[in-house]
Amino acid sequence: MEEYQKLSLIDPQRVANLPTPDKLFLFLSCTGSIEYPGTERAVRIVGEKLGIEFIESVDQTCCTGYMLTCNAVNPQLALASTSRNLSIPQEMGLDVGVFCNGCYGYLRELAHLLHSNPAFKEVGDKANQALGREKFHGHTKIYHVQELWFRQLEKLTSLVKRPLTGLKIAAHYGCHYLANKDVAIDDAQYPTFHEEIYKALGATPVVYKERRACCGYSVGRGFTHREETVLPHITNKMLSAATAGVQLMTTTCPGCNTALDREQKTITARGNAVSIPVIDLSQLIAFALGAPVEQLGFKANTTPVLPVLERFIK
Amino acid sequence: MKREQASDWSIEFENAIATSGLADDIRRCISCGKCTGVCPVAAISPSYNPRQIIREVLLGNYERIVQSEEIWRCFWCANCAATCPSEIKYPLLMLYIRYFSMSHGAGKKHVDPFIRFVTKARQEAVTFQPGKPARLDEIRELRSSLGLAPLRIVSDKGIKEYQKLFEITGTDEWLKNYQETPEVPIDLSYLEGKILVPDDSNSGSEREV
């Protein structure tokens, strides 16, 4: 199982370039807050252990990326709301930490569009002006929390309270993170940094065939093309993980988590019995660092999580 | 469905993409097909072919694209963008093509399911907040037990500002137009290079054009 490392393309320079902040603006995710609130809690727990204080704002709205990519709103709305949302951390003088690949991808892509096209920039600036806010200047940095966890991997390793010895874990990276190939710390075609994190927690990383496959739920295809393409796709993915002997899967996006966790019920009902708990990477880290299990919100999961984690709770 | 004619060709489409600022210049495409090779949708649904779609756009056959079922299949996973040697951001092209198709009244059946999310998000500035009281209670209970606010609530100020954005970006008007535009049915799918449309004489089956 060590073979995957030979192909590892993690860029140490990019990792070293990541900051180790003591304060970050936490960008809240709608799906995360509603479907898997344990993720939000876990992010705070891991942050606390690493000395990162997360500040949130009740003024922050939805990132609007989902509605944009479902073509259900005017594109200008997504540009304006990105500009507005990012003006909040800018005002606080903080960089942004995101725990949803969707929010991460949309914020980065839209912030890029805002600054590469003067017409789009004007849409954002006009919106902020009309709301009496300062212009968004574009200097605010946007990080996914998983990168920041990986940046401090040594510290995480030293903090492990529940070594996950023998637990076979597999990764689902999520497209909207990997699509940012110019900024990601790893190679989008063959990412391996989640596997490095599992090893640091004492677990056994498992590489399965459909590891790089997406969750199928983005841009609303889970609603419009569920029977036609999404279900066959998720079935392929989860069966390939089951064949590889995966006991637990982690995601870094509440949206992916919803697809891979909830749809197992349907896949099983249709004759392909599969039961692989899917949790967020931050939840896994928080668990290994000894966080009380009732704080991690595993109750929200459709595929039960505790059966595979129980033996590590003393 | 009428047979495709040479006169269907229009530069309008390519120009619209080039000036949109949203999608890249797809004239860089070298037709290598790597996008199609890594596409999870093409693996399941053989009539969906990203290389072919780019080709259609470059050939200016915009009527065929506008009425196509295929353009709505993309998962937006960006495998294609990660592998494209010409660095074309195909998902953004897809987003643009869908908007273009909608501006011709097509594709409503693939957008309608999301309008209710927009209506709700406009009220709450949060997407996906469920409406059913039982589900809301479940979420309240779980979140409270984790020491989080019972529900993810955006401040009144935040909601007011978000609604103002709907107004000043023309989204309210855009939505009104969307709902008032009559629907143009789409039923065109490509399979092995042939165009298939439902056969009126024999319901349920398809015939070649």
Answer yes or no: is A35 within a domain.
Answer: yes
Closest B-chain CA to A61:
B125
- Which among A62, A71, A225 has the least Cβ separation from residue B121? A62
Position A279 in a domain: yes
Taking chain B, what is the end-to-end CA distance rounded to the nearest angstrom?
Answer: 8
Q: Is B207 helix (H, G, I), strand (E, B) or coil?
A: strand
Tokens 């999301």 — which residue?
Answer: B114
Q: Is residue A149 part of a domain?
A: no
Give the closest-approach CA distance of B208 to chain A in angstroms. 21
CB contact under 8 A, A220 and B115: no
Of B83, B128, B146, the CB nearest to A37: B146
Q: State the Cα–Cα distance between residues A68 and B169, nearest whole angstrom.
A: 13
Shared domain for A127 and A164, answered yes or no, is no
**Cα A139 versus chain centre, distance:** 23
- Does one domain contain both A65 and A110? yes
A58 and A77 in a single domain? The answer is yes
In a domain, A187, yes or no: yes
Residue type, A297: G
Is A140 a member of any domain?
yes
Distance from CA of B206 to the nearest CA of A (A): 17
Q: Is B128 on the interface with A (CB under 8 A)?
A: yes
Instruction: State the residue for tokens 């907040």.
Output: B129
d(CA B90, CA A19): 31
H-only helix segments in B67-209: 79-83, 90-103, 108-124, 133-145, 156-168, 171-180
Closest of A16, A101, A79, A69 to residue A219, by C-alpha: A69
Residue carrying structure tokens 């007011």: B160
Query: Residues A40, A124: one domain?
Result: yes
Candidates A27, A31, A33, partner chain B, best to mutate (most B CBs within 10 A): A33
Number of alpha helices (DSSP H) and beta strands (DSSP E) in chain B:
11, 3
Prediction pTM value: 0.93
Interface touch B117/A66, C-beta < 8 Å: yes
- Residues A200, A132 within the same domain: no
Question: Closest approach of chain A CAs to the CA of B153, in angstroms?
Answer: 7
Query: Which has the closest alpha carbon to B111: A66, A258, A220?
Result: A220
Domain boundary among A104, A123, A144: A144
Q: How many CB pairs under 8 A join A and B?
A: 193
Contact between B26 and B168 under an 8 Å Cβ cutoff? The reply is no
The CATH number given to whatever domain includes residue A128 is: 1.20.1050.140
What are the b/e assignments for B170-183, b being 16+ CB within 10 Å? Answer: ebbebbeebeeeee
CA distance B70 to B186: 10
**Contact between residue A41 and residue B147 where contact means Cβ atoms under 8 Å apart:** yes
The SS3 assignment for B195 reads strand
A-facing residues of B in 1-60 (CB < 8 A) are: 21-22, 40-41, 44-45
Tell me: do A168 and A245 sit in the same domain: yes
Using the beta-carbon criterion (under 8 Å), do B154 and A66 form an inter-chain contact?
A: no
Domain harbouring A183, CATH code: 3.40.50.11810
Residue finishing a domain among A112, A144, A176? A144
Q: Which of B47, B126, B156, B178 to mutate to test the interface with A (most CBs of A within 10 A)?
A: B126
Identify the pLDDT of residue A261.
Answer: 97
Q: In B, which residues are within 8 Å of A240 by CB distance?
A: none
**How many other CB atoms are there within 10 angstroms of residue A174's CB atom?**
26
Chain A's closest residue to B138, CA to CA, is A300
CA gap A292, B88 in Å, rounded:
46
Indicate which of A40, A43, A61 best probes the interface with B, i.e. most B CBs within 10 Å of its own CB: A61
Nearest CA in chain B to A187: B82
Q: B131 CB near a chain A CB, below 8 Å?
A: no
Nearest residue of B to residue A118, measured between CA atoms: B21
- A195 part of a folded domain: yes
A158 and A140 co-located in one domain: no
Tokens standing for A290?
């000894």
Report the residue from B129, B159, B174 with minimal CB separation from A34. B129
What range defines the domain where residue A90 resides? Answer: 2-144
What's the farthest any 2 CA atoms get from each other in chain A?
58
Q: Are residues A158 and A307 in the same domain?
A: yes
- A166 with A285, same domain? yes
Q: Which of A77, A175, A300 sits opposite B77 (nearest CB)?
A: A175
Judge whether B133 is closer than 8 Å to chain A, CB to CB.
no
Same domain, residue pair A172 and A255: yes
Domains delineated in chain B: 6-106+185-208 (1.10.1060), 109-180 (no CATH)
**A225 and A119 together in one domain:** no
Q: How far apart are CA B178 and CA A73, in angstroms?
A: 10
Name chain B contacts of A31, Cβ cutoff 8 Å. 127-128
> Is residue A170 domain-resident?
yes
Q: What is the pLDDT along chain A (314 residues), one digit of tens a residue?
A: 556 677 788 889 999 999 999 999 999 999 999 999 999 999 999 999 999 999 999 999 999 999 999 999 999 999 999 999 999 999 999 999 999 999 999 999 999 999 989 999 999 999 999 999 999 999 999 999 999 999 999 999 999 999 999 999 999 999 888 887 666 788 888 889 999 999 999 999 999 999 989 999 988 999 999 999 999 999 999 999 999 999 999 999 999 999 999 999 999 999 999 999 999 999 999 999 999 999 999 999 999 999 999 999 97
- Whether A106 and A190 map to the same domain: the answer is no
* pLDDT (tens place) for every residue of chain B, 209 residues total: 455 667 777 787 888 888 888 877 788 999 999 999 999 999 998 889 999 899 888 888 777 888 889 999 999 999 998 889 998 989 999 999 999 999 889 999 999 999 999 999 999 999 999 989 999 999 999 999 999 999 999 999 999 999 999 999 999 999 999 999 888 888 777 765 566 665 555 555 555 54
- Residue A293 inside a domain? The answer is yes
By Cβ distance, the residue of A131, A189, A214 closest to B40 is: A214
| pLDDT at residue B209, rounded to an integer | 47
Cα diameter, chain B: 65
Boundary residue ending a domain (A77, A109, A144): A144
Could you give the number of structural domains in chain A?
2
